[in-house]
Chain A
Amino acid sequence: MSRKPEDIVSAAVVKHGSGREAVMGILTDVNRELGYIPEEAIKAAAKAVDVSNAEIYSVLSFYSFFSTEPRGRNIVRLCNTISCEMNGSSDILDAIEKELDIKTGETTADGRITLETTSCIGLCDESPAMLINDTPHTRLTPEEACKILAGLE
């Protein structure tokens, strides 16, 4: 049973404070725990740091890692920048989309995996690479990538 968005925000405020500068920390905590930032969390964060709901929504909409849409239990971020691209990241993307039967930006029906592409993740020397949640996976092949995904809870 996961915590309520408001409770995550309250705990984050204890950790990061209630100043405006706490916003990124609060949003990161919610995003990490729930995979996305629901409306109730935005409202709670806005109240905690005393800015408008629109302001928090505006801030989070700026950053690629934040989302207001519910996402899967695992977030796969496949790098699509040049070094990974040169070493076949688009083939990997095709393979994953086919394997999971979803398009980039979508979540599997069972809520297991959300697939995203991302700008350079600094693993160019071990490309192609992806992040699954907080963990990097490198020197991928289409087969290997699919195998890794199959092992996700």
Chain B
Amino acid sequence: MSEKRILTAAEQPEAGAALKKSLEMTKADVVFEVRESNMRGRGGAGFPTGVKWNLAGAASGANKMVICNADEGEPGTFKDKLLLEKYASKLLEGMTIGGYAIGSSQGIIYLRAEYPYLVPGIMKVREELISKNFLGEGILGTDFSFDVEIRMGAGAYVCGEETSLIESLEGKRGEPRNKPPFPVNSGYLSRPTIVNNVETFVSVPYIILNGSEWYQDLGIGSCTGTKLFSISGDVENPGVYEFQMGSTIGELLEVAGVKDVQAVQVGGASGTTISAGELDRKLSFEDLPPGGSVIVFNSSRNMMDVLENFLEFFVHESCGQCAPCREGNVRLLDTARAIRGGKITSREELKPFFMLAEVMKLGSKCGLGQTSPNCFVDIITKFIDFPDGKGGM
């Protein structure tokens, strides 16, 4: 596996080509093609996009919604910003195809508050697409209409969780909902709703144009396609890279120019922290779940600094609704500080906090609390020495 630029290739397929092809297909065939491609959502959770579309298409309910999650907030992630900046045409085309597939005429881009400067560019692309009849009323002479509006977030990491995002769009606190019901049945304003990541929508036109088999050939096993990675930290050439699924983290780091590795955080603060000895692990949902972010730490970095920074982030960003996440992250941060302050000096004393981490993973309401303890467990287990051995159970 290797670097392969498709979404970010210099040569781009003509705008509207995939949409044109989609409108010549039945809705069911469009959903089928996306499902067969095996593409899994690019936001991090990895739910199969075609399955989601199929459920929303089959759901009963009027005014179905297509929502683009452009609230990338995972520390170290900026790949969606690149897509929104340079490839908005493909994004809007992907959303429009999604609208056609599930029977929706209304799309919303939920854009994070930190990216207001991207709005004019996206709106300009929208105007262009409308002028070409790729968006708006009666698209390409059919009776299918679809339009997209941008709605701004206001600074809340948790709104990247799809039900929080929907709550926020409804004018509420961005607190995750209980599931079921799932958004495909009852999402925005109780309408059947698909929420997909920017990268997911941008990938759709390529799947339609080239076919699901072509897409399946990219990647490894059930992890198909290419994936964008935002690389930052101790790296010579930070930026966004596009690799096939299944590439190793080592391959990625080589291209980005990394010489000295102590640790790599894959998938952001809520992802997995690996040590220099794990660079042959594959970026795939089965091995090393590929969020959008890769942060490299060289040997001069104190990993406890990193842990404290991440936990401060989660303490700040937890929605505060459910007990394990609200109270748990605070305790994990207290513990990290206690280790640094020499108040916790043995693995034995850490046991209750590893138990806490486990309970947060098992019992929190949403992905935030379920993944925020990852950095605590990984960093203490892999990087911190105690007189009675490395941290961990």
Contact = CB atoms under 8 A, between A and B. Distances in A.
Interface of A: 19-25, 27-28, 31, 49, 58-60, 62-66, 77, 80-83, 85-86, 118-127, 131, 134-136
Which of A64, A118, A125 has the most CB atoms of chain B within a 10 A radius of its CB? A125
A64 B156 contact: yes
Interface in B45-74: 72-74
5 cross-chain pairs, A with B, having the tightest CB-CB distances, nearest first:
A23-B171, A64-B155, A63-B154, A124-B232, A125-B238
Interface residues of B, number: 54
Contacts of B240: 125
A20 B170 contact: yes
A124 B229 CA distance: 12
A134 B73 contact: no
A48 to B, nearest CB: 11
A81 B306 CA distance: 9
Given A82-B306, A120-B73, A122-B78, A28 B154 contact: yes
Contact of A21 (B116, B157, B189, B269): B189
Contact of B75 (A27, A66, A83, A134): A83
B154 A122 contact: no
Given A21-B189, A82-B269, A85-B309, A118 B81 contact: no
A23 B174 CA distance: 12
B353 interface: no
A122 B81 contact: yes
15 contacts: A24-B154, A25-B151, A31-B154, A49-B171, A62-B175, A65-B113, A82-B295, A82-B313, A83-B76, A83-B238, A86-B233, A119-B313, A122-B73, A122-B80, A135-B117
A125 B114 contact: no
B114 A24 contact: no
A86 B301 contact: yes
Contacts of A85: 305, 309
Contacts of A135: 117
A27 B172 CA distance: 11
A130 B340 CA distance: 29
A119 B309 contact: no
A120 B74 contact: yes
